[in-house]
Structure 1
């Protein structure tokens, strides 16, 4: 037995040495570390902005129901660091909490400057109770009572399930003040039905995996109809994410989805219509 155990230990050591000496693995790890360092540095210097994407009504796709503000992190040259390179890694870190604070701060400022705007901002469930995030929210809501009714906070399905009781209590307290909540990426995780019923989300955003090519995917059409019906029974508004084709937009509208979001309508932009109008007024 001792001999076999020694053999297994030796094999494990050789495996670890092999992984450590794998040039590709080392390159990926180095790239990830550089991206995290760049993000932490950008957050320290507040090199963060929001890119805005419209969410249009399915019945009249020329009308915008609200906008989503998507956080963008800039490197020292002003270029956007791709979110896929860091977002999962910072989720559990202090940098992730600070990034949520900056996104909320910029979103609240935009709402204060644009009294007709309704805007959603993403947040991590881990930011609930984070003091700086809470102070940022309280300052923004105190600035103008109307802001709460135009603010939507988006929480990802996986994040909501990390601490469902905490999320439920947090949402209830803010909903009483007028803030709305969206469940982002519904269908991408494993939300427990009993918790789903207890959540009081106002908006349910259907994950893009069900939306992409739905016009030729009968299974996803059935699943999406089921999601829409479930949302209606629980008095939730539905949004289909990542709509990229006219045929998909048509089918989603026929199914009964309330709103649509994706590159088919507009890519996220740091220069939304109200910024262009403001620039025109200044030029005039």
Structure 2
């Protein structure tokens, strides 16, 4: 009997099968974590270049699996981001972040979201509910939208930002330089913060190509009157180059890893696993 070829109808090659099964497992893990409230943020400081102190923190979504193991977003977001689960993850991140802002009056926090969540009723309900509870939250929250996500629906993003500007909300364009933002859209958007993609920061103290790109990206941010943040800073030499290049803030493991229970978080919140607010 002839051996079946993987190209024949009704067959699936082993790699595709393995990826499909892995994705199914990831979706189930995320679905269960959301249902059980096993979501939280890990907080990473964003350091001012001049002050050397945190200008704000970024809240990075995490889930816990059924064994209590903490899972970073990099291990599940790619699988869920185009599905309703992705919108639910954005809702969980927003709920956690706004809850932390409500409990910590001096905190300024950035929260990630996908442009796909714009118009998602549950996400907007969470935002409006927390803004109604505390007038200061709007001025202390930063909503981060990745460049790739923003360019999927640029007109919708612009309308969304216009509608929320009156609430004092700050907007950050994340992973800048890695996507396809046109200068026309950059001019028309209302982003206040430009977060430069970390791939250009790596070895920037010695990599002449990255140095050239960073100077250009920082210059663009300054031209459009945007606050510039360099991500993925891992060494003192990289930090020094960025300071000398005029970047406003830096973020990365050189300054601190994301922490689920930072010292500044209220003890009652720090002691609990669930960060849903």
TM-score, normalized by the shorter chain, greater than 0.5: yes
Q: For the structure 1 residues 171 and 58, does the alpha-carbon distance in structure 2 shift closer, same or farther, using more than 3 Å as the test?
A: same
**What count of residue pairs does the alignment treat as equivalent?**
267
Counterpart among 222, 233, 236 of residue 212 in structure 2:
222
Distance 2:139 2:176 in 1: 23
Does structure 1 residue 44 correspond to structure 2 residue 29?
Answer: no
The alpha carbon displacement at 1:279 in A equals 8.8
Moved over 4 A (4+): 17-21, 276-280
In the alignment, is residue 267 of structure 1 matched against residue 267 of structure 2? no
- Equivalent position of 2:75 in the other structure: 85
Mapped pair 1:55 → 2:42: no
Q: Is 1:147 matched up with 2:141?
A: no
Contact kept in structure 2, 1:32 and 1:85, CA below 8 Å: no
Which whole-Å CA distance do the structure 2 matches of 1:19 and 1:184 have between them?
A: 42
- The offset of 1:160, in angstroms, is 0.4
The corresponding residue for 1:185 is 175
Paired position in structure 2 for 1:72: 62
On the 8 A contact 2:172/2:195 being kept in 1, the answer is yes
TM-score (norm 1): 0.89
The answer to which of 41-50 and 77-86 deviates more is 77-86
Distance 1:97 1:232 in 2: 33
Contact 2:97 2:109 in 1 (8 A): yes
Unaligned runs of 5+ in 2: 271-277
Gaps of 5+ in 1: 1-12
Go from structure 1 to structure 2 and tell me whether the alpha carbon gap of 1:196 and 1:19 turns closer, same or farther (over 3 Å shift). Answer: farther
Equivalent residue number for residue 154 of structure 2? 164
Q: Distance in 1 between matches of 2:207 and 2:44?
A: 26
Contact 1:51 1:70 in 2 (8 A): yes
Q: Displacement, 1:14?
A: 4.0
TM-superposed deviation, 1:43: 1.1
Q: Deviations over 1:199-226 (max 9, x none)?
A: 1100000001100110011121111111
Aligned to 2:223: 233
Aligned residue for 1:263, secondary structure, equals coil
Shift in Å, 1:273? 2.1
**Partner residue of 2:24?**
33
Rounded Cα–Cα distance in structure 1 between residues aligned with 2:72 and 2:54: 26
In structure 2, C-alpha distance between the alignment counterparts of 1:120 and 1:84, rounded to whole Å? 18
Compute the displacement of 1:21 (Å): 4.9
Q: Which has the larger radius of gyration?
A: 1
2: distance between equivalents of 1:222 and 1:137?
39
What does residue 8 of structure 1 align with?
A: none
- Residue 173 (str. 1) matches residue 169 (str. 2): no
Q: 1:194 and 2:190 equivalent?
A: no
C-alpha distance in structure 1 between counterparts of 2:7 and 2:168, whole Å: 53
3-state DSSP class of the match of 1:195?
Answer: helix
- CA distance in structure 2 between the aligned counterparts of 1:152 and 1:17, rounded to whole angstroms: 51
Paired with 1:201 and 1:152, the residues of 2 have a C-alpha distance of 10
Residue 83 of structure 1: how far off its partner (Å): 2.5
TM-score relative to the length of structure 2 = 0.91
- Pairwise CA RMSD of aligned residues? 1.9
Q: Deviations over 1:66-119 (max 9, x none)?
A: 000000011111112342332112111111111111110111111011111100
**Looking at both structures, which has the greater relative contact order when contacts are Cα pairs under 8 Å and sequence separation is at least 6?**
2
